[in-house]
């Protein structure tokens, strides 16, 4: 998984090695990618007290 840009040479080398490349939060034609919904994630955050644990 990569969250940074690869050069064409790096991508070609990984292809030659038969390694799968999945991009994180970026679109590259012909490649799989995943995106994180930061807003939805932030809305799911709970404080320790909300989870039944003492704070601190």
pLDDT 10s digit of each residue in the chain, 56 long? 656 788 889 989 999 999 988 888 888 888 998 887 777 767 777 666 666 766 55
Say what the pLDDT of residue 38 is: 76
Task: State the total domains in the chain.
Answer: 1
β-strands 33-34, 23-24 pairing:
parallel
Q: Which domain holds residue 16?
A: 8-40
Strand residue runs (E) in the chain: 23-24, 33-34
Q: DSSP label at 7?
A: P
Q: Is the whole model's pTM more than 0.75, yes or no?
A: no
Q: Give a yes or no: residue 30 inside a domain.
A: yes
Say what the pLDDT of residue 47 is: 66
Count of residues for the chain?
A: 56
Q: Give a yes or no: residue 28 inside a domain.
A: yes
């Amino acid at each position: 998984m990569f969250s940074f840009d690869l050069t064409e040479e790096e991508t070609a080398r990984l292809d030659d090695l038969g390694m799968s490349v999945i991009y994180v939060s970026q679109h590259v034609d012909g490649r799989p990618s995943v995106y994180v919904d930061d807003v939805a994630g932030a809305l799911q955050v709970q404080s320790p007290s909300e989870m039944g644990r003492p704070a601190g």
